[in-house]
Structure 1
Amino acid sequence: VNGKPVTDSQSYTVATYSYAASGGDGYHVFEKGTLESQGDSVTQVLIDQFKAKKDVIVPALGRQVDVSVKE
């Protein structure tokens, strides 16, 4: 954190999604923490953003494959 190693004796503030915070994906360390706040779901935030911004520009990262194009 900030160029320093993470230590077991230090407390950290972490922003994550509820599944990981509840121990999902093997992140059991988060189960020991305290939930500070819980806002809208990631899904709802995305829906609201898509509704507010009609054009969504997705950068070309080379990870998407257009399967509708016949070779």
Structure 2
Amino acid sequence: MKISACHCRECQRRTGSAFEVAVYWMPEFRKDLVAVALGCFEEPSSLVPTQSVDEESRMGWVALDLRGGD
């Protein structure tokens, strides 16, 4: 399982936030994956992002403490 914080403009627009955190997603370039927004889970605080993507679009005030992963 991969938990990503995405900073792309598309995710920013879709969520109305500075970034989106998804556990699994289905971007056009990876048809074998399906997205589930972190907030959909009963206990979202137990799922911590392990990677940050599209950082060139990251808001300058966003700082994430990523705990690593695979």
Taking structure 2 as the reference length, the TM-score comes to: 0.20
- Greater helix share, structure number: 1
- Greater strand share, structure number: 2
